[in-house]
Structure 1
Amino acid sequence: MKKSFVIYVLSDSVGDTAEQVARATAEQYKNTDYEIKKYPYVESVVKIDNIIDNVDVKNSIFVYTIVNQEISEYLKKVCDQKNITYIDIMAPSLDKFSSFLNQEPLRESGVIRKLDENYFKRVEAVEFAVKYDDGKDPRGILKADIVLIGVSRSSKTPLSMYLAHKNYKVVNIPIVTGSKVPDQLFEVPRKKIIGLMIDPSDLIEIRRERIKVLGLDNSVDYVSIEKIYEELEYAQKIMKKLGCPVIDMTKKAVEEAANLVIDIINDLN
C-alpha cells in the first residue's frame, strides 16, 4: 500500500533549492505518493502560523531554506511543539562553513537571486557595448551610462568591454579629423562623456602593429605622424568643446583606465 504525504517547502527566497532537494529525496522511495506545496518569501512568523494551521501533522514534512535566524528558530519551535517532521537544509552547511571560515554567515535571504540579477545586468551591458561599439549607432549615446570618445586605437573598445563587465552600459565614439561628431553628444550630461587621449609616439607604434596584422602598407596616412598630430589636435578641440573630463591613456593598462573612469563618473554624480 502506497504512503501518501505532503512536502511543505518553505523559503525566505524563491524556494527552488529546497524544492529540488525535497523532490530528489522523495523520488528515492518506492510505493509513495507525494505532493509538494511551496511557500516562497516566508519572511514573518505570522506567515508560518498561517501555513501550519492547515497542516495534516501525521502526513506532512517540512523542508526549508530560511537563513533568517529568528524565523528559522521560530519554525523549528512550532514544528517541535506540533510534532511535525522538518529538515533545515541550510543549517548543516552554514555550521560547517562557519567552522571552516571562522566567521558567522550574513543570514541574508535571496543572495543567489541577487547574484543572478547581477549576472544578467552584466550580460546586458556587454551586449550593449557590442551593439554600440565604434559609433555603429549614435542613438546608443542617449541610453549609455558612459560615453567614451577618442581617435582610433586609443583603447576605446577594450575599455568599453572592461567597463561592461563592471555592469556599465558603454558607447564609444571615434573622432575622425574633419568629421562631425554625433549631435547626441551635446544632448547628454557632460559627466557621462570621457575623452581618451594618448601620446603621439605611442599611438603611432600601436597603429603600426595594427596595420602589420592587417597586412597593410606602412606608408598609409593611418601611421603618418603628421596625420596623428592632426587627429589628436582635432580630438582635443572636440573634447574641449564638449567640456568633458579627459584621461591620458599613454602606457595605461585597461584596468587602471577603467578605475579612473569609474572614479570620475562617481565623483561627478
Structure 2
Amino acid sequence: MNLHLVSDSTGETLNSIARATLARFEDQQVAPHRWSLIRSRLQLDRVLEGLRHEPGPVLFTLVDRSLRHALEETCERLGVPCLSVLDQVVDLLQGQFGSQPREKRAAQHVLDADYFRRIDAMHYVLAHDDGQGAAGIAEADVCLVGVSRSSKTPTCFYLANRGIKAANVPIVPGAALPPELEATPCPVVGLTIETNALIEIRRHRLRLIGAAGVRQDTNDYIDPESVKAEILAARRLCTRMGWPVIDVTRRSIEETAATVLQLMEAWHLRQKRGTAPPQPLDPAAAVFGGGPSA
C-alpha cells in the first residue's frame, strides 16, 4: 500500500505520526511517499502527479487553503482517503481558547528562543560528553552517569534536541568521579544495563575499532565476572549518592530519555517542596535478576 505524507514544512510531524501508527500494523507492507516543503501550486502539482501514478491514503499538514482544497479535490476524484492530521487538535484547542488560530506555515520551525535553546544544548552535549569539561556540570540541566556503553551519549543527544543540557560522566572502575557531582545543582540519573547485553555491545565495539588482538577471554572490558562487578559497583555508587537508576537493557533511546525527563520533573518538584528523594531500589536487583530494575 502507498501512503503519501504531504507537508508545507519539514514533514517531521507527519513522519512521527506515521511511524508511530504503522508500528501497530507490523504485518502490513507500506511504501511511504514523503512530500515536504509543499508551498506553491507548482510543487503541489508534482504531488498530485505522484498520487495519480501511485494512489494511496494521504496524510497532510497544509495551511494554505487553496492547496488544501486542490489536494482534497484530487483525492476525492481518485477515490483515496485524505486526512489533515492536525485539524481535530486545532479544533479542540480553538474551542478551549475561544480564538481563531493563525494560518502560519511551519510555525514550529521558526528561529525563536526555543530553537536557539536546542542549538545551545547540542553544543553543550558535544563539549561535555564522556566526562569532558567537568567544571561545566554546574550549567547542566541533568547529568547522566553509568558504566561505559550504557547509552549515555545517544540519550544526551536526544535530550539536547529537546533543549536539555545533558552532561554525561562515565563510572570507571578505580577512577574517582568529578568532585562537581558531590553537590551538583541539577538532577543526576544513573543508567545501567544487564551484564550479557553490555558484554555483547562491548564486543561489537571492539570489533568496530579493530581490536582483533585483544584476548576476549581475559580482557576485563568484556570478562563476564568483571563486567558484572563493574555494573554492581556502579549501582551501589548510585544508591549511596541517592541517584535514581534506569535499566536501559530493553529500552529505546526515546524511552530512556522520556524517563529521564520524568525524573527531572520529580527532582525539581522535590526541590520546590523541600522533600527528600525516594530511596533507590536494591542495586543488586538488576544485575542478578532478584527484583525489578529502576
TM-score (structure 2 length as normaliser):
0.54
Displacement after TM superposition at 1:94 (Å): 6.3
Q: Distance in 1 between matches of 2:193 and 2:108?
A: 42
Contact 1:177 1:230 in 2 (8 A): no
Displacement after TM superposition at 1:220 (Å): 2.1
Cα displacement string for residues 184-237 of structure 1 (whole angstroms, at most 9, x for unaligned residues)? 111214x61000111111111110111011111224221111211221122112
Matches within 5 A, 1:208-227: 208-216=203-211, 217=214, 218=216, 219-227=218-226
Q: 1:185 to 1:112 in 2, by over 3 A?
A: same
Q: 1:106 to 1:174 in 2, by over 3 A?
A: same
Matching residue of 2:158: 162
Displacement after TM superposition at 1:113 (Å): 9.2
Rg larger in 1 or in 2?
Answer: 1
Counterpart residue type for residue 208 of structure 1: R
Pairwise CA RMSD of aligned residues? Answer: 2.6
Displacement after TM superposition at 1:264 (Å): 1.3
Cα displacement string for residues 134-190 of structure 1 (whole angstroms, at most 9, x for unaligned residues)? 00111121110010000000000011111111110000000011211111111214x
Matching residue of 2:118: 122
Q: 1:94 to 1:246 in 2, by over 3 A?
A: same
Matched, 1:152 2:148: yes
Q: Secondary structure at the match of 1:129?
A: helix
Matching residue of 1:13: none
Q: 1:243 to 1:108 in 2, by over 3 A?
A: farther
Q: Distance in 2 between matches of 1:248 and 1:242?
A: 17
Matches within 5 A, 1:89-104: 96=66
Q: Distance in 1 between matches of 2:178 and 2:103?
A: 46
Structure 1, unaligned stretches of length 5 or more? Answer: 1-92
Q: Distance in 2 between matches of 1:114 and 1:208?
A: 40
Paired residue total: 176
Q: Among all aligned residue pairs of Structure 1 and Structure 2, give the percentage whose two residues are the same amino acid.
A: 35
Counterpart residue type for residue 256 of structure 2: A
Displacement after TM superposition at 1:262 (Å): 0.8
Matching residue of 2:192: 197
Structure 2, unaligned stretches of length 5 or more? Answer: 1-62, 73-83, 95-99, 269-294
Q: Distance in 2 between matches of 1:156 and 1:181?
A: 16
The one of 134, 140, 145 aligned to 2:130: 134
Displacement after TM superposition at 1:244 (Å): 1.0
Matching residue of 2:249: 250
Q: Distance in 2 between matches of 1:245 and 1:113?
A: 33
Matched, 1:177 2:173: yes
Q: 1:97 to 1:106 in 2, by over 3 A?
A: farther
Q: Distance in 1 between matches of 2:250 and 2:210?
A: 25
Displacement after TM superposition at 1:268 (Å): 2.6
Matching residue of 2:235: 236
Q: Distance in 2 between matches of 1:253 and 1:107?
A: 36
Q: 1:108 to 1:262 in 2, by over 3 A?
A: farther
Which stretches of structure 1, 4 residues or longer, exceed 4 Å deviation after superposition? 93-105, 111-114
Q: 1:144 to 1:97 in 2, by over 3 A?
A: farther
Displacement after TM superposition at 1:107 (Å): 3.4
